[in-house]
Structure 1
Amino acid sequence: MKKSAKKKQNIFVIVFAKVWIERNICPDYEKELVDGTIEILTKHHRYQFIKGSIASPEIVSSIINNKYVKHLPLYRMEKVFDDLGASISRMTMSNWLVASCDKYLAPIARMMKDHLLSRDIIHADETTVQVLNHQDGSTNKKSFMWVYRSNKYDPSIIIYDTNPSRKFAVVEQFLGNYSGYIHSDGYEVYKKLQNVTQIGCLAHGRRKIVYVLKKADKNSATAKDAASILRCIKAIYKN
């Protein structure tokens, strides 16, 4: 019997997550010096991802991915780890997240902000966000998500800054002595910035023209002007 042909078969296979303890044993060595004293030499342990913690980069990155990408709450992750044979409380996971963000992500965020403030153009906007437990002890309170991003022709940088206030002090604190162009929806606080040139948002402007066109008599000069403006805007983005 000889082989006449071969067929390919594809089958989905999954390897489930495993959690284990990596135990590193680091021996001490005694070295006798010429004066007769003993010097203790210790082999260094594996680098601690979070000082004083048993957390590894792998397990912290898994928690970050599950919480912020897959939107899995910590209390549910607590059960997942328990099913895998690892007892990790949600408080411990929360502490790991805070510590790792402070140590590894905060410096990156500061660097991103420095790069953003060095750009000629910054896009800025703010929107409401509901905060379940606020720092002042209040619950289910409305706050604001301030978003700043670079121009599309510059390296992409997007920074989110949450704050309970929508006042000028918030944007003033973030932008500091920034000098350049601010592209916004025309919110009045941006107009108070010194050494800044305001750029209007065409999408917001177009929305107003569409509203005028809907309300105006279709045979009026206003309607004709509005329609003409919309055609001009459409021509800009035709290609």
Structure 2
Amino acid sequence: MLNKILLENILFLDIETVPEKIDFNDLDKEKKELWEQKSSYQRKEDFTAEEFYERAGIWAEFGKIICISVGYFVFKGDIRNFRVTTFHGDEVKILKDFKSLTETHFNRPHHLLCAHNGKEFDFPYIARRMIINNIAVPSKLNLFGKKPWEVAHLDTMELWKFGDYKHFTSLRLLTNVLGIPSPKDDIDGGMVRDVYYNEKDIDKIITYCEKDVIAVAQILLRLRGNEILVNEEILHV
């Protein structure tokens, strides 16, 4: 079934997120209380709410998107290319630019969005941040009233589970076991906040995010039994 999907109909993506405020003390009183309640289960008694705030980026209610990288296949005869680009800057602009892409070039029923752990993280996070920023959620992210087979989402982590719902496999581990060049050769997700707020190096984060998008595409190729991409086939646009 996976092999029947045309690769050029898939939009691969990855997002990078950080806490919405640089520091816990930048939150107002009510937001501090809400963060303390929201994070209580995860941090238990090991961390205070303030100490745990550096991880706030993983919750759409307390974080924000700083870039969305996307990739897609282009075929011209026997030539295969994978084009990668990134939306970054103001979060509202990022979200509007991504929405525009999905509505103009990936808006048909056969078009799919693909990410690693996308169903649990990337897809709902983008949708929630759109609503928070008063942006109408595009059809590809709006699941209300849709039957399971009408949801145009692929998730490489879900595909790797083969029905095993308790199984989590990181992108780094999956690329390793499948013989795909690792995308984690510079920074990792736990460093994004510091790179963004302290180093102020968005270019480093963009490079990291785009490598993840390429890795997701490589995983899907391996799951289909296709040859993985070589550097000459990857174009940054």
For the criterion TM > 0.5, the same-fold answer is: no
- Greater helix percent: which structure? 2
* Relative contact order, higher structure (CA 8 A, sep 6+): 2
**TM-score w.r.t. length of structure 1:** 0.27
